[in-house]
Structure 1
Amino acid sequence: MIEKEYKITMNNCENKQKSGLKSSATLLLILAICIFSMIMAIVSIIYIKKSVTTPMSRIANPKIINIPKGSDLKTVSSILKRDGFIKDTMTFNLLAKYKSAEGNLKAGEYQLSLDMPPLQILNLILEGKVYQYPVTIPEGYNIFEIASLLSKKGLAEREKFVLLAFNRDFIESLGIEANNLEGYIFSDTYYIHKGMDESAIINKMVDTFRKRVLNEITDEYKKTGLTIHQIITLASLIEKETGNEVEKPIISAVFHNRFKKRMRLQCDPTVIYALLLKGIKEKKIIYDGNIRKEDLSIDSPYNTYRYAGLPPGPIANPGKPSIHAAIYPSVSKYIYFVSKNDGSHHFSSTIEEHNRAVRIYQGKNNVTTKDTKKKTKT
C-alpha cells in the first residue's frame, strides 16, 4: 500500500516537473516572440522614418504635378510614385494614415522636386500650398488685353474676367467709384494658381492698386483740381502716348495746358480705345493697328478729337510713373507734340512750329499708327 502511494506521489511530481518545463518553454517562446516583434517594430519604425525623410535624389529637378479634385489617398500616392517622387505607395499611405491625412489632401497643382522627402511632399499637399504662376501685367494694358493674357496662360476665362470688370455691383463691392475697372488694375507681377476664381484674381489686382497707388496719392492729387478718377484717366492717356518716362511729365504738361486753353486733347489712343469698344460691341475687328482720318470722327465719349475734356474713364491701366506725371506735369508752354519715329516726340508751343515738325517727321503720310502718330492738334 505504502509502495503504491509512493509511486503515485512520484508520478505526480514527474508530471508537475514536465508541466513546469512546458510552461517555462512556453514563456520563453512568448518572450522570444515579443522580443522579435519589438525588434521588428523598431526596425520598421527606423525604416519608415528613414523612408519618409529621405528624398529620391539630391538633385532638385522640379516638376509640376496635378492632383485632380476628388482624389483619394490611393490615387495621390499612385501619382507620386508614377512621377518618381516616392519609392513605394505603401510607406506613403502608412505615413498619411499616421498623420490622419486621409480625406484631407487638397487638390490642385503642386511644384515638387526630387530632393523633397515624402514627409515634406505630404505636408505640402495637406496644407494646399499649390503652385502659383507668375503673371506680369505690363503697364498700359487694358482690361481686354489682361483678360487675354490670363486666358492664354490658362488662369482665367476671358469673357468672365471682362464681364466682372464691367459689373457695377462687383465694382461697388471693391469700393471703386467707377463704371468699370479700367485703370484700377495695377501693373505688377502677380502669383496666381490654376482654379483661382476670376473675382479673386481681380480683387487681388485692385487691392494692389489701392495699396500701391490710392494710399500714396490721397493728398497729392487734390492740388490739381482733378478727382482721383480723372487723375487715373489722364495717367492712362499719358501711358498710351509714350513709354519714355522722361517725356511723361512733358506730355502731361501738354494736356494740362490744353485744359487751360479749353482745347480738345486730340489724343490718338482714345480713338483707338473707342474703336476697340465698338468692335467688341459689334463683334468684329474695327481697329487693325492703323488710325485713319475717318476714325477721328467716331461718335464715342472716348473720342477726344470729337469731345472736349477727358474721356469718361481710363483707356488702360497706367503705371506709377504716368500717375505721378499726371499729378506733377512739367512746367512748359507746349500744346502740341508729334512722334519722331524713334520712341520720342517733338514738342511745340505754336501751330506753325508743330506743322513744320509734322512735315519733317511724318511727311505726307496721312495714316497714323501706334508707333508713328501724326498729331495735328488745332
Structure 2
Amino acid sequence: MTEYGRGPGSEPWHPEDPLFGDVGWEGQQAQVGQQSSYGGQPQHYPEQPQQPQQYGDWGHGQQADYGQAQQQYPGYDEQGNPHYPDQQQWADQQQYADQSHQQYAAQQQQYQQGGWDGTGEPAQVPYAADPGDPYAQQAVAYGEQQPDFYGTPDAFPPPEPPGKRRTEPEPEQTDWDPGPDQGEHAFFAGADDDDEPDDDDPGAGRGRGDRRGEGGKGKKKSRNGCACLLVVLVFGGGLGGVGYFGWHLYENRFRAAPDYAGSGNGDTTTVTIPKDAGGYDIGRLLKAAGVVESVDAFVSAQQANPDGKSIQDGVYTLQKRMSATSAVELMLSPKSHNNLVIAEGLRSSAVYELIDKRLAVPKGTTASVAEKDYKSLGLPNWALNHPNLKDPLEGFLYPSSYAVTKGQKPEAVLKGMVSLASAKYQDLGLEKQAKALGLDGPWQLLTVASLVQAEGTSHDDFRKMAEVVYNRLKPDNPQTYGRLEFDSTYNYVKNQSKIDLSITELRKYDNPYNTYFYKGLPPGPIDNPGEEALKGALNPTRDGWYYFISLDGKTSKFTKTLAEHEKLVNQFNEARTKH
C-alpha cells in the first residue's frame, strides 16, 4: 500500500527514464471514488522497491487525459532496467484507456447537466470495485456523499518524481501560527484578543486555510511589548510594596523610637489630658505640645514604668523636649498636676471663685454666668423650675479634678461639671430610688445627700446621718415633730460655717433654708455632695437614730432620745470650758 492509502497502484518509474515525472498531474486530482484509467485492475509490472514520496507541486492547472497518461507508463525488471510491453499488450492497454476516457467524458457531461434520470432522481452510474483498494474507496454514483481527500486545501499533494523533489521548507511563523510555543497563552504570543481581522488585512474575512493557500499576510498584531511592560509594572510594584512595608516593619519593631534626652530645656507648657485617654492618646498630645519627640517613645516608657497606667486626666505642667521616661515620671508626681480640684461638700459660691482665679477673669464672672445661663448648661429636667433657690447650680458642680486652663470660657467649665454630675446621678439611680425612700423625687434625694455631706464628719457616719434626716422628716416623729433643725442650713443662707449659734437666733430667722424655722427639707441642696454622701443617702441605717453630736470635730456620736443627746451636749461644753 502506498503512503496515500489508495492501493498498490502502478509501479513507480525508474529514475533514469527520460519520461520520468510526466505522469499527467496537471490539475486537481480526479474525484475520489472514480475509476482509474486501468479500470480498477492491478497492473502486472515487476515489483520495484517503493521510494519515499514527498510533497510536491500540484501540476499546472489542467488534468491530463487518461489515455495519454497510460501511454507513458513503462515497467521495470528486477534489475531496474526498463521493460516495455509488447505491441499487442500495448494496443490493448491503449484501447482500454481510450474507452475509459470516453466513459469518463460521458460521466462528466451527465454530471454537469444535472445527472438526473427520468424519475427526477440522480442517475446512478455504476463502477466496478477495485480489488486492489484495501480501503474500499470504490467509486459511487454522482449524487452520493463521498469525502474528497484531494479537492480540499488540507489534501495531500500528488507525488513528485525524485528528480524534482526538494526539501520541504519550514512553515512560516505567522500571527495565526504561534510556532513551537503553542502552549503559550495567545496574549503573550502576540495573538489578538478577538478573531476579527483588521480592515487593512488582505486576508480579512478568510479562514486560516485561505490565508495559507494564497499567502496573504495581514497586519501583524503583537502585544509582546505591552505584555512585558505590564509584567514589569506588576512585579516592580509588588517588590516596591514589599520593600516599603518591610522597611516600616523594621522601623516599628527593631529600631528604637526617636526620643529626646534629659529632663527638658526649661521651657514649660501645660497639657490637658482628657478623661479615659490611653497611652497613645497621651503620647500624641505630648508630642503635639513639644514635650516628647515621638508617641512610641512615650508608650514604651509608660509601659516600662510600673505605675505608668495610673496617669489620670487633668492639666499637667511639663517642660518641652523631655525624654519619654522623664515625662512619665513627672506626670506621676503631684508637682506636675495643674488641675482644678473641687472638694466634696464645697458650695457653689466657692467653686465660682476657684474658676475665676484659674481662668484669670474678674471675680464674680463665673457666678454671673451661672445665674443668667444656668438653663443652658445641661441640667436635667428634674433639676429645673424649683422655687426659692439660692443657686440653681448648687449640687451639680460635682466634686472632681477638672482640666481648666487659662483661655477657656466659664460656660465651658460649668458645662463640664454639670455633665459629670448628671452622669453620676444617673449611674447611682437617684430617680429610681427616691420614691422608695419616701421622697418626692431625685431633687429631694440630692438635697438629703447635701445635708449628709454638710453634717457628717467622716465617711463612716454618712449612713447614720442619712437615717437621722429621714427620721426627722416624719411629721409625727416624737422627737422633732418634722423639723430637721440643722445648723448647716442656717450657715448656708448666711454663707458662713459657724458652730456656736444661739438657739434663739436660729428660731427667729425667717428663711426657706432655715430648718429651725421651717419644717421639712430646704428648697434645694446646700452644697455639692460627693459619692460617699450620695451612697449614704441612698442606703441609710435602720437603727432609730434622731440625734448626733461631734465632740472632737472629727467623728459624731448618735443617740435615739433627746435626754441622751443633752448629756453629750453637756460633755462637749465642759470640754470647751477647760480649754
Normalising by structure 1, we get a TM-score of 0.59
Paired-residue identity, %: 26
CA distance in 2, matches of 1:264, 1:55: 66
SS of residue matched to 1:270: helix
Count residues in correspondence.
250
Residue 343 of structure 2: aligned partner? 138
Q: Rg bigger for which structure?
A: 2
Q: Which runs of 5+ in 2 are unaligned?
A: 1-256, 271-289, 292-315, 325-335
SS at 2:460 equivalent? coil
Distance across 1 between alignment mates of 2:260 and 2:510: 66
Q: Which residue of 2 aligns with 1:115?
A: 322
For residue 345 of structure 1, what is the aligned residue in structure 2?
556
Higher helix share: 1
SS of the residue 1:337 aligns to: strand
Counterpart for residue 321 of structure 1: 532
How big is the shift at 1:359? 0.7
Amino acid at match of 2:573: Q
Q: Deviation at 1:214?
A: 2.5
Deviations 1:253-295 (A, max 9, x none): 011111122421011111101112xxxxxxxxxx474543154
Question: Does the C-alpha gap of structure 1 residues 319 and 224 become closer, same or farther in structure 2, counting only changes over 3 Å?
Answer: same
Gaps of 5+ in 1: 1-52, 67-83, 86-108, 118-130, 277-286, 367-378
1:196 counterpart = 2:400? no
Provide the rounded CA distance (Å) in 2 between the counterparts of 1:216 and 1:310: 21
CA-CA distance at 1:144 after TM superposition: 1.0
What is the aligned partner in structure 2 of residue 334 from structure 1?
A: 545
Partners of 2:572 and 2:395 in 1: CA distance: 31
Shift, 1:56, TM fit: 7.4
Task: Give the counterpart of 1:275 among 478, 494, 503.
Answer: 494
Distance 2:362 2:413 in 1: 11
Cα distance in 2 between the residues matched to 1:61 and 1:219: 55
Q: Residue 242 of structure 1 aligns with which residue?
A: 456
Alignment partners' CA distance in 2, 1:166 and 1:346: 39
1:221: which partner in 2?
434
- Alignment RMSD, CA only? 3.1
- Give, in whole Å, the separation in 1 of the partners of 2:548 and 2:320: 55
User: Cα–Cα, structure 1 residues 322 and 116, in superposed 2: closer, same or farther, change >3 Å?
Assistant: same
* 1:156–1:183 Cα change, 3 Å: farther
Inter-partner Cα distance in structure 2 for 1:136 and 1:242: 21
Structure 2 residue 419 is the aligned partner of structure 1 residue 207: yes
- 8 Å Cα contact 1:213-1:320 kept in structure 2: no
Equivalent position amino acid for 2:452 in 1: I
State the match for 1:181 in structure 2.
393
In structure 1, distance between residues paired with 2:505 and 2:376: 33
> What CA distance in whole angstroms lies between the structure 1 residues aligned with 2:572 and 2:521?
27
State the match for 2:501 in structure 1.
Answer: 292
Q: For residue 43 of structure 1, what is the aligned residue in structure 2? A: none
Distance 2:513 2:487 in 1: 10
Aligned 8 A contact 2:344 2:529 in 1: yes
String of CA shifts for 1:93-135, please: whole Å, max 9, x gaps. xxxxxxxxxxxxxxxx985413379xxxxxxxxxxxxx99411
Of structures 1 and 2, the one scoring higher in RCO (CA 8 A, sep 6+) is 1
Q: What corresponds to 1:159 in structure 2?
A: 364
Of the candidates 298, 301, 319, which is equivalent to residue 512 of structure 2?
301
C-alpha spacing 1:301/1:291, structure 2 compared with 1 (3 Å): farther
CA distance in 2, matches of 1:288, 1:318: 16
TM-score under structure 2 length normalisation? 0.40
Where 2:375 maps in the other structure, the secondary structure is helix
**Which segment is superposed worse, 211-220 or 181-190?**
211-220
